[in-house]
């Protein structure tokens, strides 16, 4: 069991959830305020995507990221800023001709995917460590070994901490390989992402299998989506990990009741504390993760 727990709040994500929650953060101001709300509720880390304010869809726009990050920094918050770099790997395959790309495809090279990280130097950025079918239909997320090595090398040069997101056991294998190759600084940081069709399911067996495969000295967290969010909070702590909650992964506080990011953080912290553990503040989390910038 982990007695000293980092709580991350993923405040909005990039999925098609804008019409499913009345108060989902969409504009830069709303996303920044959601990160500040999560910190006020007790989260040490805010994991941030941005969205097109007009459509609500996920975006890679550097200026949108800039506004969010500057708002958080100008507020004087000590929250650890974790920016996604997962955008830019989306392939929509045409059902009639697989050689064609359907609308919604967004494929760019690794350094382009890091443009906002280059510009803003967050504390942490994510690396999604493999390709996978993403839900039903013909949506595929593309993260090739070459692209990921390019990204990991540049993140290392920038002094930004990579959070290696793993959605299945093979992705963890590759994430560990990058660490062994010296592309990731100590301590390596992993996020076990469970329940996303069609990665690993959100259950004890899959989280334990990946937790048991972590390299010595690794810092890892885990989460489940939807109704498995809070059960996986308890499971991650029991297995020695840290936790993540937030509206990116789950929209509800309980059945039929829409949540806020702050409410989800507060609920997770109650679970952690009821288990006899404590949560770390950003200063303590930075020390554990060796974030020095």
Q: What residue spans define the domains of the chain?
A: 4-289
Q: Using CA atoms, how far apart are residues 74 and 90, in angstroms rounded to an integer? A: 33
d(CA 4, CA 131): 32
- Per-residue model confidence (pLDDT) at position 92: 94
pLDDT at 206 over 90: yes
Q: What is the pLDDT of residue 255?
A: 92
- Tokens for 108, please give them: 């760019």
pLDDT one-digit tens code per residue, 211-220: 999 999 999 9
Report the distance separating Cα 21 and Cα 7, nearest Å: 23
Among 227, 285, 205, smallest CA distance to 2 is for 285
Q: What percent of the chain has pLDDT over 70?
A: 100
pLDDT tens column, 222-242 = 999 999 999 999 999 999 999
CA distance 59 to 113: 11
Residue 7 backbone dihedrals phi, psi, to 5 degrees: -105, 120
Average pLDDT, the chain: 96
Would you tell me which CATH number, out of the four given (3.90.45.10, 3.90.190.20, 3.40.50.720, 3.20.20.70), belongs to the domain 4-289?
Answer: 3.20.20.70
Task: Name the 3-class secondary structure at 207.
Answer: helix
Q: What 8-state DSSP symbol labels residue 219?
A: E
Whether 64 and 27 have beta carbons less than 8 Å apart is answered as no
Q: Are 278 and 4 in contact (CB under 8 A)?
A: yes
pLDDT given at position 49:
98
Q: What is the largest CA-CA distance in the chain?
A: 55
What is the pLDDT confidence band of residue 35, given thresholds at 50, 70 and 90?
very high
| Cα–Cα nearest to 117, from 91, 151, 148, 147 | 151
On the question of pLDDT at 293 being above 90, the answer is: no
Nearest to 152 by CA among 122, 120, 177, 131: 177
State the helix-helix crossing angle for 204-212 and 169-180, rounded to 10 degrees. Answer: 20
Please determine, for residue 165, whether its predicted confidence score (pLDDT) is greater than 90.
Answer: yes
């Amino acid at each position: 069991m982990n007695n000293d727990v980092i709580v991350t709040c993923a405040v909005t994500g990039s999925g098609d959830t804008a019409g499913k929650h009345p108060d989902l953060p969409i504009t830069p101001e709303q996303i920044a305020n959601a990160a500040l709300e999560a910190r006020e509720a007790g989260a040490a880390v805010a994991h941030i995507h941005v969205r097109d304010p007009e459509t609500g869809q996920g975006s890679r726009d550097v200026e949108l990221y800039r506004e969010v990050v500057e708002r958080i920094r100008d507020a004087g918050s000590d929250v650890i800023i974790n920016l996604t770099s997962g955008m830019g790997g989306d392939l929509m395959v045409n059902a009639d001709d697989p050689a064609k790309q359907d609308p919604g495809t967004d494929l760019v090279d690794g350094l382009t995917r890091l443009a906002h990280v280059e510009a803003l130097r967050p504390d942490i950025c994510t690396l999604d460590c493999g390709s996978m079918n993403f839900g039903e239909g013909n949506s595929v997320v593309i993260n090739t070994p070459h692209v990921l090595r390019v990204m990991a090398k540049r993140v290392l040069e920038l002094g930004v901490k990579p959070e290696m997101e793993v959605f299945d056991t093979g992705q963890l294998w590759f994430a560990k390989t990058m660490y062994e190759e010296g592309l990731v600084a100590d301590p390596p940081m992993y996020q076990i992402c469970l329940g996303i069709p069609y990665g690993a399911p959100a259950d004890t067996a899959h989280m334990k299998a990946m937790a048991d495969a972590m390299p010595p000295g690794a810092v890892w967290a885990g989460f489940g989506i939807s109704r498995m969010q809070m059960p996986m909070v308890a499971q991650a702590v029991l297995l020695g990990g840290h936790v993540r909650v937030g509206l990116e992964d789950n929209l509800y506080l309980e059945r039929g009741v829409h949540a806020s990011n702050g409410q989800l953080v507060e609920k997770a912290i109650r679970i952690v504390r009821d288990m006899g553990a404590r949560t770390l503040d950003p200063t303590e989390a930075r020390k554990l993760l060796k974030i020095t910038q």
